[in-house]
């Protein structure tokens, strides 16, 4: 698969990209995805439209890259924690990061991605696949050190945990608190914790 940001042309400007992404994200958080047009991003960032189009196909692609760049580090797993605590912390950070304007922006990006194959592909490549890979690594590490029983299915565990979270964030629009997160993680991973057997 090719990334949304894989564009032919001259080498990318390393200084232009952060400026453009910062402007795009600020505009989208301020007025929604339609507010972050290429024209506005160019005007706010000082990056020429031609430079933007060499890297991204459209404005939503710039916003998506910026969104992932900002939120990704906030929700990293901490492999030093026990697996239950690790997931509770990471899921809690995701929920916190997606409150308010960021959550609304995620819903807009998801909606736009349904109709634009390039954005849908980027969403999977830049957001879903890396998060899933890190989650699987966390579970597999817990199995390797004897914290989880090997019968646990990492993929299914991730589907159950994050499926529930994204349902609340993008479908039912209901709040999630830390108690719910702890209960969810416990229901999915608890039966496989070796300390409880």
Give kind and range of the element (H or E) at residue 146.
none
CATH T-level assignment (fold) for domain 16-67: Arc Repressor Mutant, subunit A (1.10.10)
Q: Can you tell me whether residue 148 is helix, strand or coil?
A: strand
In this prediction, residue 54 has a pLDDT band, given cuts at 50, 70 and 90, of very high
pLDDT of residue 7: 43
In this prediction, residue 72 has a pLDDT band, given cuts at 50, 70 and 90, of confident
Superfamily of domain 70-196: Tetracycline Repressor, domain 2 (1.10.357.10)
Q: Would you list the domain boundaries of the chain? A: 16-67, 70-196
Give the pLDDT confidence of 86-113 residue by residue, as tens digits: 999 999 999 988 888 888 898 888 888 8
* Distance between CA atoms of residues 9 and 85, nearest Å: 46
Give the pLDDT confidence of 158-191 residue by residue, as tens digits: 999 999 998 988 887 788 999 999 999 999 999 9
Q: Where are the alpha helices (DSSP H) in the chain?
A: 16-31, 38-45, 49-55, 59-71, 83-97, 101-115, 117-123, 129-144, 154-167, 178-189
Q: What Rg value do the Cα atoms of the chain yield, rounded?
A: 19
């Amino acid at each position: 698969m090719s990334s949304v940001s894989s564009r032919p042309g001259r080498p990318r400007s390393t200084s232009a990209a952060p400026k453009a992404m910062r402007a795009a994200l600020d505009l989208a958080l301020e007025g929604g995805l339609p507010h972050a047009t290429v024209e506005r991003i160019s005007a706010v960032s000082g990056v020429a439209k031609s430079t933007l189009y060499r890297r991204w196909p459209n404005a939503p692609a710039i916003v998506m890259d910026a969104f992932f760049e900002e939120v990704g580090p906030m929700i990293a797993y901490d492999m030093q924690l026990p697996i239950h605590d690790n997931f509770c912390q990471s899921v809690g950070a995701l929920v916190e990061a997606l409150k308010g304007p960021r959550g609304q922006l995620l819903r807009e990006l998801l909606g736009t991605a349904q109709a634009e194959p390039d954005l849908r592909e980027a969403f999977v490549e830049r957001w879903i696949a890396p998060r899933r890979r890190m989650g699987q690594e966390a579970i597999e590490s817990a199995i390797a050190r004897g914290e989880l029983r090997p019968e646990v299915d990492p993929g299914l565990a991730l589907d159950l945990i994050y499926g529930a979270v994204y349902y609340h964030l993008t479908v039912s629009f209901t709040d999630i608190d830390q108690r719910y997160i702890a209960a969810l993680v416990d229901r999915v991973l608890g039966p496989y914790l070796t300390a409880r057997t």
